[in-house]
Amino acid sequence: MKNKLFAIILIFSLFIPKAKAEEQVFDYEHLIAGSCITRDGFFFTEEGMVNLLINTKEKIRIATLDGQKQVDLLKIDLKSCSEAKEIELRIQKDMYEKQLKIKQDIIDSYKVESHWANIKIVGGVVAGLTIGVLLTSFISLK
């Protein structure tokens, strides 16, 4: 019984690889120089040329899609970077405008202080001259 089972398995194992080899279609075949070709060599079959053309077109399509994907990713990255820089610039602009306003307020306060200081000096001079004139006229009347 074991021998029969072994014989059946051996027969199937011998026929299966041959059947697969017969079913396999190659993309090229070996031709010998003659009426169609001038040299011996391996040449593509019609199915092989179709497969080569399809594979080449598919590789080009995949490379194009990969390139477009990279471009789209760079566009998204560029957009996010530009938005971040716009926000940063807006914040810096607001900060510098606030600093400029504070500095301008300080300058204005100095102007107001110097204005009142000038008024005090002029007022003191005028008051001193007035007192001097009054005293001089009062003394000359006596």
pLDDT of residue 136: 87
Cα(3)–Cα(14) distance, integer angstroms: 16
pTM given for the model:
0.42
Tokens 């914040």 — which residue? Answer: 91
The answer to whether the beta carbons of residues 26 and 49 sit under 8 Å apart is no
In the numeric block, which tokens belong to residue 17? 């690889």
Q: Which amino acid is at 80?
A: S
The predicted pLDDT at position 132 comes to 87
Using 50 as the pLDDT threshold, list the residues of the chain that sit under it: 19-21
pLDDT tens readout for residues 58-90: 999 999 999 999 999 999 999 999 999 999 999
> Residues 51, 27: contact at Cβ < 8 Å?
yes
Task: Give the model's pLDDT for residue 23.
Answer: 57
Tokens of 29: 């075949």
From 28, 29, 30, select the one nearest 50 (Cα to Cα): 28
